[in-house]
Amino acid sequence: MKNTKSLFLGFLLASSVLLTGAAKAQKPVIRIQADETVAKINPLFYGLMTEEINYSYDGGLYAELIRNRAFKDNAATPDHWSVVTEGEAKGSIALDSIPQPGTALTRNLRLDIEANEKGRAGAANSGYWGIPVKPNTTYQASFYAKTGNGFGGTLTLSLESNDGKILAKATVKATGKEWKKYNVTLKTGKMTESLNNRFVISAQQKGTVWLSLVSLFPPIYKNRPNGNRPDLMEMLAEMKPAFLRFPGGNYLQGKSLATRFDWKQTVGDLTQRPTHLNDAWKYHSSDGMGLIEFMHWCEDLKMEPVLGVFAGFMLLDKNPMTGDTLKPYIDDALNQIEYLTGDATTHWGAKRIKDGHPEAFKINYVEVGNEDFFDKKRTYDHRFAAFYDAIKARYPHIKVIASDHVKSRPADLTDLHHYFKLEKAIKLAHAYDNYDRKRGKVFIGEYACREGKPTTNFKAALGDAIFLTGLERNADLVEMTCYAPLFVNVNKGGMQWPSNLIGYNGLGCYGSPSYYMQTVFAKNVGDEVVKSSIENIPMSADTTEQLFYSVTKSSQNGTLYLKVVNLSDKVQTVQIDINSAGKVLPQAEMTLLTAEKRDDTNTIAEPKKITPKSMKISVSGNTFDYEFKPNSITVLKINQTK
Ligand code: AHR
């Protein structure tokens, strides 16, 4: 018996030696010096970036339901329009170019009808992958028309399912050889919402009708005429975005002068907008989302506009404009700012007022070009200097942002873009720790961890969160951040860029896991970064870091926001050690975003598979342990006495 006991004791001793001998990982510690502020966080830290890509506006945020409303998508055929004939009626449709005096609309649809009470003929529009129709909803239709060849009658407008069920209907008397605008209201009743529908203009008459700028709007966010989809605007509002970088991206540049974002062609009444080919992303832009609409979008969500101006460098351009050839584009940028901010005594301010916007907008940030590091002739420094001098001379308060590193002038911010895989996010977490502060302040104007499509998956959310913790820790340098691309229409053919934040079809929308992570991050940020450090960082077998964090504090009430990403597949128990004049209060709040598998994602069919969960938690004193779940993003909101 004695022997057995000593054997057992011997075994216990040996195993404890084994346990300590096997270099048992030490508990990670995050030390927070809560009273030592190392940086102020710019109130504009979390914002949005947007451009016309993936049907972001047309077929996306911009609420117009008619596709190819100005008949400019294709010079040869009336794409997305088809002829409708029923009963004994005959009809045909064709593109035409009957002038519409005083407008920029050069093309229209000719509808030849041979019909009577025994049948109808007309034109149908199939919308952006269908016309979404909802119950008990009012739709505003409008169009320009002129008639000929004896047409003297009634046009019927209808919303109908693709298998022929009428969902809403109204009539309008349309006659006359002159172009005239018609406005018609369509109302649905009790029905099930659906997408497989079309919009039809038809007649039971004989004659010819020319149609131009055919439009159909559902209810709009804040009832702004020519405005945006409420569901998408509400999703954006949830992100608490402080600024909007627009209009691109490659969309700003275009592949040729004619296809750049030429702001002058996007303002005024819709009849004054010729529309343009968005060749950067290979589809036609209606320009319904024009310069003023971007500003309305900013107003509606209380965002600071960050206005991108064309800088004489197109996409894939081998010969950027310099010297005198650049001059008109510098003038164009100054005119653009004047259009937005000028009063009635200025040429362009007066034009804005004439366009229906008496109040001047405020512009505090202008970005010169986009991704000018693609300029192989290295002319950007020279081009930036010319824009910088001209803008500062006229508008000294404007912060001028460079789209690449420059030496010629002290750019107020340099816009740097990061697209990466999760593995790279681990390195990027420290990309700005040792960045030379003498190079000036940084704007991360585009970033995304590119995992999953058409919207990114949970793996990407981990990567984006890791990257953002690094940016928050370096907020003395990084002033603003925004993800790209923001939107994707998830229908087949809707996506040009395969990693996006928010997906939708005509009826619904959803956020990727990264959307939810960004929403949580933007809502849980203080105005100061406090001194902190981490010890015993857990490492993976291939010696990559597994724990990432940032700490910010509200200077008003001392609340600490600790963001932690646990990349490992194990629970990580971390000691949180808060050194502060204040006392940590027991009641804290925890928000957790996690998923069963890294490639889990949200979709239009399963939009809420991965969403954050918040709960109250108790913490004990200024030093406490917290167990961070495997593969998780956690935000702890820790309250303390002042
Ligand atoms: O976000 C998609 C594209 O990526 C942007 O248009 C461009 O700026 C970048 O290369």
Question: Cβ(445)–Cβ(415) under 8 Å?
Answer: yes
Instruction: Clarify whether residues 205 and 239 are in a common domain.
Output: no
DSSP three-state, residue 148? strand
Rounded to an integer, what distance in angstroms lies between the CA atom of residue 544 and that of residue 82? 58
Number of domain units in the chain: 3
Same domain, 332 and 193: no
Mean pLDDT across the stretch 319-331? 97
Q: Are 50 and 36 contained in the same domain?
A: no
Strand 502-504 to 487-489 pairing = parallel
Q: How far is the CA of 249 from the centre of ligand 1 (A)?
A: 5
User: Residue 603 and residue 503: Cα distance in Å, rounded?
Assistant: 8
Atom of ligand 1 nearest to the CA of 251: 6
pLDDT band of 488, cuts 50, 70, 90: very high
Distance 20 CA to ligand 1 centre (A): 52
Q: Whose CA is nearest to atom 8 of ligand 1?
A: 249
Q: What ligand 1 atom has the least distance to the C-alpha of 484? A: 1
Return all residues near 574 (Cβ < 8 A) that are at least 6 apart. Answer: 27, 28, 29, 30, 547, 564, 625, 626, 627, 628
Q: Could you tell me which of 220, 144, 239 has the C-alpha nearest to residue 184?
A: 144
Residue 336 and residue 342: Cα distance in Å, rounded? 10
- DSSP state, 539? B
Kindly give the distance from the C-alpha atom of residue 282 to the centroid of ligand 1, in angstroms, as a whole number: 14
Query: Does residue 19 lie in a domain region?
Result: no
168 shares a domain with 290: no
Residue 11 inside a domain? The answer is: no
pLDDT at 18: 40
- Are residues 297 and 290 in contact, defined by beta-carbon separation less than 8 angstroms? no
Q: Which two tokens stand for residue 501?
A: 């934040």
Q: Which of 446, 455, 500 to mutate to test the pocket of ligand 1 (most atoms within 8 A of CB)?
A: 446
Ligand 1 center–CA 419 separation, angstroms: 9
Q: Which residue has the tokens 């030390």?
A: 31
Percent of the chain at pLDDT exceeding 90: 95
The first and second tokens of residue 229, run together, are: 């989809």
| CATH code: domain of residue 600 | 2.60.40.1180
**What is the average per-residue pLDDT within 527-553?**
96
Q: Is the peptide bond prior to 454 cis by the omega test (within 30 degrees of 0)?
A: yes
Residue 14 has pLDDT above 50, yes or no: no
Band the pLDDT of 3: cuts 50, 70, 90. Answer: very low
459 CA from centroid of ligand 1 (Å): 21
Same domain, 299 and 401: yes
Q: What is the mean pLDDT of the chain?
A: 95
Asked whether residue 291 carries a pLDDT value surpassing 90, the answer given is yes
pLDDT of residue 642: 75
Mutate to test the pocket of ligand 1, among 55, 285, 371 (most ligand atoms within 8 A of CB): 371
Show which of 184, 219, 254 is a domain's final residue: 219
* pLDDT top residue among 227 and 9: 227
Q: Which atom of ligand 1 is nearest to the CA of 446?
A: 1
**So what's the pLDDT on residue 25?**
78
Going by CA atoms, what residue is nearest to atom 5 of ligand 1? 249
Q: Which of 538, 622, 630 is nearest to 27 (CA)?
A: 538
Q: Is residue 9 part of a domain?
A: no
- Ligand 1 centre to CA of 136 (Å) is 40
How is residue 330 written in tokens?
């510098």
Question: One-letter amino acid identity for 226?
Answer: N
Q: Tell me the pairing of strands 528-535 and 29-40.
A: antiparallel
Alpha-helical runs (H) found in 323-420: 323-341, 347-354, 380-394
Q: Whose CA is nearest to atom 4 of ligand 1?
A: 249
Q: Give, for ligand 1, the residue of 56, 487, 497 to mutate: max count of ligand atoms closer than 8 Å to Cβ.
A: 497
Ligand 1 centroid, distance to 514 Cα (angstroms): 18
Q: Does 301 have pLDDT greater than 50? A: yes
- CA-51 nearest atom, ligand 1: 6
Amino acid sitting at position 466: I
| Integer-rounded Cα radius of gyration of the chain | 29
Measured torsion, CA atoms of residues 340, 341, 344, 346, in degrees rounded to the nearest 10: -90
- pLDDT greater than 60 at residue 2: no
Separation of 365 CA from ligand 1 center, angstroms?
Answer: 19
Which residue owns the Cα nearest ligand 1 atom 9?
Answer: 249
Ligand 1 shell residues, CB under 6 Å = 51, 53, 248-250, 370-371, 446, 484-485, 497
Mean local confidence (pLDDT), 177-184: 97
Look at residues 238, 351, 240, 347 and name the one whose alpha carbon lies nearest to residue 292. Answer: 351
51 found inside a domain: yes
Cα three-residue angle 251-283-516, rounded to 5 degrees: 60
75 in any annotated domain: no
**3-state DSSP assignment of residue 408:** coil
Ligand 1 atom with minimal separation from the 497 CA: 2
Which atom of ligand 1 lies at the shortest distance from residue 371's CA? 8
pLDDT of residue 584: 97
Which of residues 157, 189, 219 is at a domain's end? 219
Residue 480 in contact with residue 42, Cβ under 8 Å? yes
> What integer is the mean pLDDT of 399-409?
98
- Rounded to the nearest whole angstrom, what is the distance from the C-alpha of residue 269 to the centroid of ligand 1? 29
Alpha-carbon gap, residue 266 to 275, rounded angstroms: 8
DSSP state string for 3-16: HHHHHHHHHHHHHH
Give the tens place of pLDDT for each residue, 441-479.
999 999 999 999 999 999 999 999 999 999 999 999 999
Ligand 1 atom 3, closest CA: 249
588 CA from centroid of ligand 1 (Å): 39
Residue pair 70/220 in contact by the 8 Å Cβ criterion: no
- Quick one: which atom of ligand 1 is closest to the CA of 248? 6
Tens of pLDDT, residues 124-152? 999 999 999 999 999 999 999 999 999 99
Amino acid identity of residue 589, one-letter, is E
In the chain, what percentage of residues exceed pLDDT 70? 96
Judge whether 129 and 59 are in contact, CB under 8 Å: yes
Distance 260 CA to ligand 1 centre (A): 14
Q: How far is the CA of 250 from the centre of ligand 1 (A)?
A: 6
Query: Ligand 1, atom 6: nearest CA belongs to which residue?
Result: 249
**Cis bond upstream, residue 485 (ω within 30):** yes
- Beta bridge pairs of residue 444: 481
Return the ∠ at Cα 498 (arms to 524 and 56), rounded to 5°.
Answer: 70
What is the layout of strands, in order, in the sheet containing 180-187? Answer: 90-96, 108-114, 206-217, 138-148, 180-187
For residues 196 and 86, membership in a common domain is answered with yes
Q: What mean pLDDT is predicted for residues 528-546?
A: 95
Q: 423-448 pLDDT, tens per residue?
A: 999 999 999 999 999 999 999 999 99
Residue 406 sits in the same domain as residue 455: yes
Cα dihedral sign for 169, 173, 175, 181? negative
Residue 132 lies in a domain: yes
- For residue 308, the model assigns a pLDDT of 98
**Nearest residue (CA) to ligand 1, atom 2:** 485
| pLDDT in the model for residue 11 | 40
Tell me the one-letter amino acid at 363: I
Whether residues 98 and 162 fall in one domain: yes
Ligand 1 centroid distance, CA of 51 (Å): 9
Q: Which CATH number covers residue 386?
A: 3.20.20.80
Q: Are residues 359 and 344 in the same domain?
A: yes
Which pLDDT belongs to residue 585?
Answer: 97
Distance separating the N- and C-terminal Cα atoms of the chain:
63
What number is the average pLDDT over the span 342-364?
97
Which of 182, 204, 219 is where one domain is finished?
A: 219
**Mutate which of 51, 55, 255 for ligand 1 pocket (most atoms within 8 A of beta carbon):** 51
> Which pLDDT score is estimated for 33?
98
Residues 487, 369, single domain; the answer is yes
pLDDT in the model for residue 24: 66
Q: Which whole-number Å values give the CA distances from 236 to 128, 241, 486, 509, in the listed order?
A: 21, 7, 10, 11
Domain assignment present for residue 505? The answer is yes
Atom of ligand 1 nearest to the CA of 250: 6
Q: What is the pLDDT of residue 21?
A: 41
Domain shared by 514 and 533, yes or no = no
- Classify residue 190: in a domain, yes or no: yes
Clarify whether residues 212 and 232 are in a common domain.
no
Domain containing residue 395: 46-63+223-523
* pLDDT value of residue 10: 41
Give residue 251 CA to ligand 1 midpoint distance, Å.
Answer: 8
Q: Which atom of ligand 1 is nearest to the CA of 448?
A: 1
